[in-house]
Structure 1
Amino acid sequence: MENTLIVRAAPQEFICGPGCWNELEHHLERRGISSALVVRGGRSWEAAEHYFPDFKRIEIQFYRYGGECTYAERDAIASEATKLGLQSIIAVGGGKVSDTAKAAAALLRIPVIILPTLAATCSAWSSLSVMYDEAGTMVDFEVFPHSNALVLLDPRVILDSPPELLVAGIGDTLAKWYEADAIISHLPSPPEEIALAHYAARRCRDNLMIHSADALGAQREGELNDAFVRVVETNILTAGLVGGFGEDYGRTAGAHSVHDALTILPQSHRLLHGSKVAYGVLVQLVLEGKREEIGRLLPFYQEIGLPASLQDMGLGGLTRDDRFRVAAHAVLPGASIHRMPGTFDTVKVADAMEELESLISALRAGETVTASR
């Protein structure tokens, strides 16, 4: 943990509402910005392009994101912005597009504006980037001293996104509570910043447990409703507040260590970030001895389509050696699992992964689960 707690609570400005992208040029002019490089994805851009406004006074150039948030891609974006003499970077896309654009803007020390097309992570809100290598294995994360200049969240754009990506966002955001609580609940007297992170994390869980099914129903019908907007804002805004106020105390713990470890398996790269994190939540709960909580969560997972086991993720064929390789990566020095109380090693994590498979099978067969087995 850092000795000095630095609050990075929010972007400089955040606006959520249908049609808010139309005000982008106005907001750039308010900031004295006359040019920008728009970093866009592929499929996400095809869905969102008709929402992107025309510009009359601001110079806009476009850059096609290469597909992975790597240091090489960061440098390529920074080089393009420098070559063209542009004053800012606008990210239009999902979490990896946002993270790459934030990293490039931080390198150049210019403003970054985020227009999310997905609600799968809190990347649009946070002032950090998770970095990967070309193969899709997570290698590092960078925390920046500047907040995102502006986030424009149009829920109509998210409504047009694939529902499975919203489900993944729900999985990633649900983890905010279980990871933050594992760390914060053991502090004898949390400072106010951390208490606010704890509150935001609990609100993430409560909002999602109450509203997720209705939100996904609204998305299937193509209709905006309160539940949909609330879940989208929870995945981006409320989730971002957890790490923003809590720093390492509110960021990641066991669930994300398991996610990061799964990325060493090439067959896991097709899986969405939030799906692997949702599975990691359950592994973490096994490690904490909270098996009854797994029983309470499983119906929610099943209702919205989150994976609860390796089998659910199509990884049921992993050998014990495979699980040990994943477990060894999850407990590397510096892994976020070590923010939790207790000592965690390869054997404990591998055993927890194995126990979870049996536990989920038992729960689905209707067996009763107690706090310890």
Structure 2
Amino acid sequence: MSSLIRENDVRSGPDRYISEPGITADIGRFLSDYRHPVIVTGTHSWQAFTGYATNVPDYPVFRYDGSATKRNAKELAGAISEEQADAIVAIGAGKLSDTAKNIAELLNIDLIMVPTLAATCAAYSPLSVNYDEEHRYESALLHHRNSNLVLVDAALISTGPRRYLIGGIGDTLAKWYESRPVFERSDDLSTFDELSLRSARLIREILLSESEDALRSLDAGKVDTHLRRVVDAIIGLSGTVGGFGGTKARASGAHSVHDALTVLPATSGVVHGLKVAYGIMVQLVAEGKTDEARDLIPFYERVGLPHSLTFINVNPQDTQGIHDVAKHAVGAGAAFDQAVPGITAEDVVRAIRRVEELQ
């Protein structure tokens, strides 16, 4: 990361954020200022977009390999530079968005985001989460600039698999639970920190009140206010928490558990946000807030979020695997101690075991 960029800089968001059903059906009208735009997408994302859009632009299309590795971003940057591109149109979900941000940074060109899922705030934030070749969490890089435009089309997003919206609910709910303990211990909250905390609280209120209706709307094929509010909370409002609050608000216990779970191959097929949602439970118990964790279980069950190891493909009898997860959750670079200062791997193991007892 450049010395000119600091982790606690206020990064309010992309230059433009437009949320409107149908907005991406004719995306070309937003690209008239560019001479050589290219599209970066994935196989499933491109199928979803071309099956939805009424006017697919005739631009060069580059497909990422799904790995969200810095290696793949460098490969694509090399190929795209030969096109003399002046803008990247990133069509896809979280890993695609993170890869596109890496490419735009390498080439220093504009970036337009078109999320096809509401699973994370990746399309909004200036961060790229990178994984290694074994699909394990590696790093989260903060980029020099934000995206130029984010086009959020709830009608396009509604064509995606249901489990990703559920995962988005889990990932976004963590904004409140991860930032709250960090802000509560701070004796020097800035006005932007306060705004971040209020965004996180609003997110929690929206998700607890709207998620069930949004999922019912999704199942019924309706793109209504409930679905749009949840989509914008996941993609847009979620990004403001870390954007205004910096490192205090970006991640703590729940994401540390998620990152640690990636060391277990059995969890590789589990949606990101589901692992984060499970991490919320572990973090709350580690904080000593077992009753609060228990109170979340009815909501978790109604929307399909995990509160047990089995749900995320981990055998509760896999003692070694659980200890490996606990060790990584508090290891070098982990942020669990921002939520629970001084936490140890043994503390995490006890929290995981306690969460199992809440069933």
The alignment's TM-score, normalised by the length of structure 1, stands at 0.92
Deviation at 1:276, TM superposition (A): 0.3
**Whole-angstrom CA distance in 2 between matches of 1:41 and 1:51:** 15
SS at match of 2:312: coil
Deviation at 1:188, TM superposition (A): 2.4
SS at match of 1:279: helix
Change (3 A) 1:328 1:140: same
1:265 equivalent in structure 2: 264
Deviation at 1:134, TM superposition (A): 1.8
Whether 2:6 is the aligned partner of 1:7: answer no
Number of aligned residue pairs: give it: 355
Structure 1: give runs of 5+ residues left out of the alignment. Answer: 362-373
1:69 equivalent in structure 2: 68
**Whole-angstrom CA distance in 1 between matches of 2:131 and 2:17:** 27
1:368 equivalent in structure 2: none
1:292-331 aligned at under 5 Å gives the runs: 292-331=291-330
Which of 16, 37, 57 is residue 19 of structure 2 equivalent to?
A: 16
**Whole-angstrom CA distance in 1 between matches of 2:61 and 2:55:** 13
| Counterpart AA for 2:309 | L
For the 8 Å contact 2:50–2:56, the answer to whether it is kept is no
Q: RMSD between aligned alpha carbons?
A: 1.6
Deviation at 1:55, TM superposition (A): 6.6
Change (3 A) 1:236 1:209: same
1:13-162 aligned at under 5 Å gives the runs: 13-22=16-25, 24-29=27-32, 32-52=33-53, 54=55, 60-162=59-161
SS at match of 2:250: coil
Deviation at 1:345, TM superposition (A): 1.1
**Which range moved further: 82-91 or 123-132?**
82-91
SS at match of 2:39: strand
| Counterpart AA for 1:345 | T
For the 8 Å contact 1:39–1:91, the answer to whether it is kept is yes
For the 8 Å contact 2:39–2:59, the answer to whether it is kept is yes
Deviation at 1:157, TM superposition (A): 0.5
For the 8 Å contact 1:120–1:166, the answer to whether it is kept is yes
1:176 equivalent in structure 2: 175
How high is the sequence identity, in percent, across the aligned residues? 37
For the 8 Å contact 1:324–1:346, the answer to whether it is kept is yes
2:204 equivalent in structure 1: 205
SS at match of 1:131: strand
SS at match of 1:86: coil
For residues 231-270 of structure 1, the C-alpha deviation after alignment (integer angstroms, 9 at most, x for no partner) is 0000011100001101101110000000000000111101
**Whole-angstrom CA distance in 1 between matches of 2:164 and 2:113:** 18
**Which range moved further: 332-341 or 342-351?**
332-341
| Counterpart AA for 1:130 | V
For the 8 Å contact 1:201–1:239, the answer to whether it is kept is yes
**Which range moved further: 262-271 or 313-322?**
313-322
**Whole-angstrom CA distance in 2 between matches of 1:148 and 1:4:** 17
SS at match of 2:130: strand
**Whole-angstrom CA distance in 1 between matches of 2:26 and 2:49:** 16
For the 8 Å contact 2:39–2:89, the answer to whether it is kept is yes
SS at match of 1:233: helix
For the 8 Å contact 1:77–1:101, the answer to whether it is kept is no
SS at match of 2:59: strand
Deviation at 1:45, TM superposition (A): 2.0
Structure 2: give runs of 5+ residues left out of the alignment. Answer: none
For the 8 Å contact 1:92–1:117, the answer to whether it is kept is yes
**Which range moved further: 195-204 or 310-319?**
310-319
SS at match of 1:115: strand
For the 8 Å contact 1:11–1:147, the answer to whether it is kept is yes
| Counterpart AA for 1:26 | R
